[in-house]
Amino acid sequence: MSTVTFESATRHYPGSDKAAVNALDLHIADGEVLVLVGPSGCGKSTSLRMLAGLEDVTEGRILIGDRDVTDVASKDRDIAMVFQNYALYPHMTVADNMGFALKIAKVPAKERRERVEEAARILDLTEYLDRKPKALSGGQRQRVAMGRAIVRSPQVFLMDEPLSNLDAKLRVQTRTQIAALTRRLGVTTVYVTHDQVEAMTMGDRVAVLKDGLLQQVATPRELYDRPVNVFVAGFIGSPAMNLLELPTTEHGVQFGDTDHPIARDVLAAIAGDTVVVGVRPEDLERAPDGEGLAVDIDVVEELGADAYVYGHTWIAGARHDITARVDGRRPPAAGSRVHVRPRLGHVHVFDAATGERLDDGIRDVADAEVPVTAIDATA
Ligand SMILES: Nc1ncnc2c1ncn2[C@@H]1O[C@H](COP(=O)(O)OP(=O)(O)O)[C@@H](O)[C@H]1O
Ligand SMILES: [Mg+2]
């Protein structure tokens, strides 16, 4: 077990005019599960492959514990990888697949068997040890791939979209198993996914990448409540946060027919006469007619306890999509018009030009019993 440190780690592929990963700074604690997330092509796999020693580091350094491994061969880094395409050997049994790396490393047969049996027990694979991979389900094969990594007791686990080949239901089950397993083993884990729900459920912390640049690294709660910019705000959360460019007023922003208050220091920091306001679907509440934004509902998605309404509104002549969570027992009908406004204190404020966060985000009720914006705006 060990820490992992990326120090300004940069990967510039030959012939490309920009870095695939640009000056990545990241410190991962011993035993932590750190998830790298971002859209396709943002540099997740490249970051992981640099750590694995499968990709050269153009600039910067990578450390495992105190040891600089930037120029250390992959096989000498004491890491184990699980890929999306877990490629088990079809002609070998589960036990032989799991023990193969140990055999190559000339671990004696008895110890090999013990370690494989131990991993099989942890992964609930004991009764399948003599089977060939083709006689296993997708989820079981994926667990064999995990087992292959576990038997090596590495310092660090690296996983690159290991669940992508599984169907939706199995993916949810398996991600819960992997999360429980990595915590139980206490092995430092770097886990790559493009799926923000997977990232939020599995990571102790989540690092969000875009275009090779680290945007934010934080706990799932912090990312959700205090995204540092418009990109993270829109990427994290499902359904996504509503992001609207709105005119500022003396005390806040013009949210349709409602003048929504914003803290004075935040207002003072706004450069132009508009600002981007983010409101999560669950933070929009129904307002009386003539208040807030008038939303024409296109689709209603009923989930039992909750319902999501997807509609559109018009702001300064431009059409904007709006998503709101409503009471599942009394959802409005598609085709109808409702009025919504943000719950007081539950807006995120971003600079319209740079996309950077200006306010300090949603606070716990314990932090501030009365929403901060309400106090400041009336002071
Ligand atoms: N071997 C390579 N040679 C050149 N460019 C590459 C290579 N591998 C990846 N890239 C480019 O680097 C960027 C990051 O890729 P990658 O790390 O695979 O992203 P992700 O895993 O987040 O989808 C992309 O623009 C991709 O096209
Ligand atoms: Mg990738």
**300-307 LR contacts (CB < 8 Å, sep 24+):** 300/331, 300/332, 300/333, 300/334, 302/328, 302/331, 303/328, 304/328, 307/331
Q: Relative to the alpha carbon of 36, which ligand is closest? A: 1
For ligand 1, the distance from its centroid to the CA atom of residue 42, given in whole angstroms, is 8
Give the atom of ligand 1 at the shortest distance from the alpha carbon of 161: 21
For ligand 2, the distance from its centroid to the CA atom of residue 20, given in whole angstroms, is 11
For ligand 2, the distance from its centroid to the CA atom of residue 44, given in whole angstroms, is 6
For residue 182, the one-letter residue type is T
Tell me if 86 sits within 8 A of 127, measured CB to CB: no
Tell me if 252 sits within 8 A of 288, measured CB to CB: no
For ligand 2, the distance from its centroid to the CA atom of residue 103, given in whole angstroms, is 30
Give the atom of ligand 1 at the shortest distance from the alpha carbon of 39: 22
Whose C-alpha lies nearest to ligand 1, atom 8? 46
Give the atom of ligand 1 at the shortest distance from the alpha carbon of 40: 23
How many Å apart are CA 113 and CA 303, to the nearest integer? 48
For ligand 1, the distance from its centroid to the CA atom of residue 204, given in whole angstroms, is 26
Give the atom of ligand 1 at the shortest distance from the alpha carbon of 160: 21
- Is the CB–ligand 1 distance for residue 20 below 6 Å? yes
Q: Could you read off the pLDDT tens digit of each residue along the chain, which spans 379 residues? A: 699 999 999 999 999 999 999 999 999 999 999 999 999 999 999 999 999 999 999 999 999 999 999 999 999 999 998 877 778 999 999 999 999 989 998 999 999 999 999 999 988 899 999 999 999 988 889 889 989 988 988 999 999 998 888 888 888 888 888 888 888 889 999 999 999 999 999 999 999 999 999 999 999 999 999 999 999 999 999 999 999 999 999 999 999 999 999 988 898 888 889 999 999 999 999 999 999 999 999 999 999 989 999 999 999 889 999 999 999 999 999 999 999 999 988 999 999 999 999 988 776 544 444 444 443 333 3
* Lookup: tokens for 377: 């705006």
Residue 57 has what pLDDT?
A: 97
- Is the CB–ligand 1 distance for residue 39 below 6 Å? no
Whose C-alpha lies nearest to ligand 1, atom 12? 20
Query: Running DSSP on this structure, what letter comes out for residue 162?
Result: T
- Is the CB–ligand 1 distance for residue 41 below 6 Å? yes
Whose C-alpha lies nearest to ligand 1, atom 6? 13
Q: Relative to the alpha carbon of 83, which ligand is closest? A: 2
* Lookup: tokens for 153: 């007791």
Whose C-alpha lies nearest to ligand 1, atom 1? 13
For ligand 2, the distance from its centroid to the CA atom of residue 202, given in whole angstroms, is 18
Whose C-alpha lies nearest to ligand 1, atom 27? 41
Q: What number of other Cβ atoms are within 10 A of residue 255's Cβ?
A: 24
Residue 363 has what pLDDT?
A: 60
Query: Which of 46, 193, 196, when mutated, tests ligand 1's pocket best, judged by the most ligand atoms within 8 Å of its CB?
Result: 46
Give the atom of ligand 1 at the shortest distance from the alpha carbon of 11: 12
For ligand 1, the distance from its centroid to the CA atom of residue 305, given in whole angstroms, is 42
- Give the strand order in the sheet containing 67-68: 21-28, 4-11, 59-64, 67-68
